[in-house]
Chains A and B, each alone.
Chain A
Amino acid sequence: MIKTPFPFSAIVGQKDMKQAMILTAIDPGIGGVLVFGDRGTGKSTAVRALAALLPPIKAVLGCPINAAAPSECPDWANLETSKTGNKPTPVIDLPLGATEDRVIGALDIERALTRGEKAFEPGLLARANRGYLYIDEVNLLEDHIVDLLLDVAQSGENVVEREGLSIRHAARFVLVGSGNPEEGELRPQLLDRFGLSVEVRSPNDVSERIEVIKRRDAFETDFDNFLKIYSKKDAKIRSAILKARKALPKIQTSDAILHDCAELCIALGSDGLRGELTLLRAARALAAYQKEEALTRKHLKAIAPIALSHRLRRDPLDEAGSAIRVARTVESVLGV
């Protein structure tokens, strides 16, 4: 029995985290969310709730990479049907100990040995195509798996060249990572691949904490009623996401805003151009979600901390955190 996850709309507080996840649902091109925080702050709850919140995708039935059209299905899948149907957006867990074989896919050893057939067994990356790939404790992930993910996340394509197999398939997914910074840092290359980064803390406010426990308790004991209330709220968010997706291409972006983006990133000294691009995309998604027609400085200000704070060059002797540095720079560049 697989239990229904805790509803997304029932998560108390954690505004940044929820907003970042909604933005990636509107525009998967933003490139993922990194959630850093202590244990028991609801990181994994939010990710699993997201899976239930997302609108379903249309995919060829039985296709291992969730292809939208039969022509995009890989020939190694040997599909019998070309019918398409609705499928929940995949949210795939990548557990810490996963091997390279599990992640990228490998020769199907069982079939090779028992039937003498050369067949490809798709890995987690194939299953995550067009969906989400969730890595809990991402900072403890082994280096060689990280390298592999970097490459695939960059190219959107998984290339398998091993044991006489030569296969490539689409692997476009939103990377969601969570972890506890006390247990180790992430390499800057991987940090950079995450579009947005949010830091979550347990709420300091007692009444907020009580509300969390109350809702959790209601979820456990009064499941049906609880779900009735919040599935409606979830449906509202879902339709807002769908509307925002439609509105997204029409969002107007003036040259002045582009100039602001660039100026902000130069002032912060963030490496590469990915910072500007993500800032722009995420801010546009936010504008679409807020049902506005044009991108304004207000949106940039709201997005800058979560889009840029993890891209700064870390200065170990600087006591202030990156988020504070970003806030200060935003203030001086864009005005209060």
Chain B
Amino acid sequence: MSEQSWHMAALALKLLAIDPKGLSGAIIKMRASPDREAIISNFAANLPLRKIPLTISDDQLLGGIDLTTALTTSQIIRKGGFFEKTGMTIIPMAERCPSELAAKLAILIDKSQTHGFLALDEGVEDDEHLSLALADRFAFYIEPIGRCPQSWVDIKFEETSPPVTLSEAIVQLTILAAKFGIFSLRAPTLALCAARAHAKLTGHAILSQKDIEVAATLVYPQRATVIPQEEPEQAAKSEEEVNPERDPSNEVESKDQQILPDGSMLIESVKAMLPPSLIDKLIHNEKTQKSSGTGAGQVRSGNRKGRPVPSRSGRINSSVRVDLIATLRAAAPWQPLRQKQQPNRAGLLIRTSDIRLKRYAEQSDRLLIFCVDASGSAAVSRLGEAKGAVELLLAEAYASRDHVALIAFRGTEAEVLLPPTRSLVQTKRRLSALPGGGGTPLASGLQNSLILAQKSQAKGLTPTIILMTDGRANIALDGSPNRLQAGIDAEKMARVLRSSRITSLVIDMSNRPQPALQELGNILGAPYVPLPRANAERLTAAVTSALVS
């Protein structure tokens, strides 16, 4: 398996080298290691590689005025953009690529002004990955397993003339994409490009079944959202149906028809390459949307809006504003000296080091994490009200810029039902069915809330945890039904939460207020709100008022 994954990686890179414009790029998902270096240096032997800095300014990316020479020579000199020079582009730390840069790169790719990308994605967590706008445009996703085998050294290839594409290939690849639930129409286009590149690599004059198979196994697995379930016979039949106008008199096509087996083999070979994590999700029959809210656009830039703070020296690019007064003030003391140096220049003499940039501090967006007790008999109604409250808050979210997440705990552990989002559409999709019943693993719920809160803090959000429950903890952190240990664990988690300075709110939804919950609120340093028989509207009102005060 591990050797095969390296073989596939080498193949993908070869194809990318053959058609960098058509295939756009590859994501290499692995940590910095000698193995990754081996991949890149192997690649560089064939094609020049250039690294793109993530902090690249618009002037550098799209071309603009060379300010440093402009200031010293007082002449305006234009310089070309990053993609003026050819060569494959490396995106280092692709998971940190800001959404603005990703959007600009996507536009350049659409205008086909780029020369192929290698995105080095070092993301560890699920939500750390390359911007989806780019990931959708890149053909390959390479995640080799294990160590690099000794034999894996060579990405050399010889190009041959472009192959003939048969319309069968297009039909096959499109149907296959649909079977794996890949809705983006970029995927079949990319797969077709890959198949053609593979034919060039192997010297096939006509696109063969092997080319199609390789292309499908390289492009489709990471995009799949469904595992096809149907019978192979049916699959073959439906293919016949969509292709009624096939001309039997055409010799090449009919000959080719004999070589082409039915779609089932293709399905199997793509299935074999599905990433294990994806299969897990698919088997649990969850609606897997790889394009769940990533929080793109949530990160603060802190230099364009908000409260002004003192300006600071730096380089001019299009994403900052120059503080003219401060710049002049910085340049003023040096004027007599500089005029002695350059007596034949009139006017102010300003150097790049004088330039001061404006800075602003900004309030970050708020994230409300609903941590809801889904245990016991009242779970269904409580979850329903929590869901209602989430949707009501989201409907108002455009005014207050709140993000919302939902964690439910029941049985032996807690799970994140709704990752942080501001999208009502996504919320409705995710919360259509909510499970309930079982024990009360309060500690686990608090633990998950803490993890989510810390993750969101790293993204620049300000999290607040809203705990909604009606009873005492009876499941400990390790999942055992031990009431005493469960209480101790819950208190422990509450202390950790408080020491992490995460604000929270305890809502008691039982018919009679519980002293134990009030105690928990005290440990959390959180307001305690008894709210028996709460409905979505009252819940929203309580949360809003408690958070404002």
Contact = CB atoms under 8 A, between A and B. Distances in A.
Interface of A: 1-3, 38-42, 44-45, 48, 93, 95-97, 99-102, 106-107, 109-116, 136-137, 140-144, 163, 180-188, 201-202, 206-207, 209-210, 212-214, 216-217, 220-221, 314-317, 319
Contacts of A316: 391-392, 394-395, 424
B242 to A, nearest CB: 5
A178 to B, nearest CB: 11
A335 to B, nearest CB: 32
A109 B321 CA distance: 10
A141 B100 CA distance: 10
B184 A39 contact: yes
B304 interface: yes
Contacts of B423: 181-185
Contacts of A141: 297
Given A95-B107, A110-B70, A188-B398, A142 B304 contact: yes
Contacts of A319: 428
A65 to B, nearest CB: 20
A40 B424 contact: no
B319 A109 contact: no
Given A137-B133, A183-B297, A316-B424, 20 more contacts: A44-B107, A95-B100, A96-B99, A96-B297, A97-B100, A97-B103, A97-B319, A99-B318, A111-B76, A142-B301, A144-B304, A180-B291, A182-B426, A184-B423, A185-B394, A188-B398, A210-B175, A213-B188, A316-B392, A316-B394
Given A217-B192, A220-B22, A39 B316 contact: no
21 contacts: A1-B113, A39-B184, A41-B185, A99-B304, A102-B58, A109-B322, A114-B74, A137-B103, A144-B304, A181-B423, A181-B425, A182-B426, A183-B297, A185-B394, A188-B398, A206-B175, A210-B171, A217-B170, A221-B165, A317-B391, A317-B392
Contacts of B103: 95-97, 136-137
A251 to B, nearest CB: 37
Nearest to B110: A44
Contacts of B189: 213, 216-217
Indicate the member of A180, A206, A214, A221 with the most B CB atoms within 10 Å: A206
Contact of B319 (A99, A144, A314): A99
A209 B424 contact: no
A139 to B, nearest CB: 8
A99 B297 contact: no
B104 interface: yes
Given A48-B110, A96-B99, A97-B101, A40 B319 contact: no
B459 interface: no
B184 A41 contact: yes
Contacts of B170: 210, 213-214, 217
Contacts of A185: 394, 397-398, 422-425
A255 to B, nearest CB: 38
B278 interface: no
Contacts of A143: 305, 401
A198 to B, nearest CB: 16
Nearest to B399: A187
Given A2-B111, A99-B318, A314 B296 contact: no
B178 interface: yes
A202 to B, nearest CB: 4
A196 B183 CA distance: 25
Interface in B182-212: 183-189, 192-193
Nearest to A182: B426
B112 interface: yes
A48 B107 CA distance: 10
A2 to B, nearest CB: 6
Contacts of B305: 142-144
B347 interface: yes
Contacts of B318: 99, 101-102
Ranked 10 nearest A-B pairs via Cβ: A97-B100, A40-B184, A140-B297, A316-B391, A316-B395, A96-B103, A40-B186, A202-B183, A181-B425, A116-B347
Q: How large is the interface on B (under 10, 10 to 19, 20 to 34, 35 or more residues)?
A: 35 or more
Contacts of A40: 136, 183-187
B184 A183 contact: no
Nearest to A38: B183
A163 B297 CA distance: 28
A136 B107 contact: yes
Given A95-B100, A116-B347, A317-B391, A183 B296 contact: yes
A199 to B, nearest CB: 11
B482 interface: no
B71 interface: yes
Nearest to B392: A316
Contacts of B471: none
A42 B189 CA distance: 12
Interface string B286-319: 0001011110110001001100000000001011
Interface in B360-399: 388, 391-392, 394-395, 397-398
A34 to B, nearest CB: 14
B123 to A, nearest CB: 18
A211 to B, nearest CB: 9
Nearest to B351: A113
Given A96-B99, A144-B304, A184-B423, A2 B185 contact: no
Contacts of B451: none
Contact of B293 (A39, A95, A97, A183): A183
B321 A209 contact: no
A202 B321 CA distance: 41
A202 B184 contact: yes
Contacts of B388: 317
Contact of A213 (B65, B173, B301, B428): B173
Contacts of B320: 99
B71 A114 contact: yes
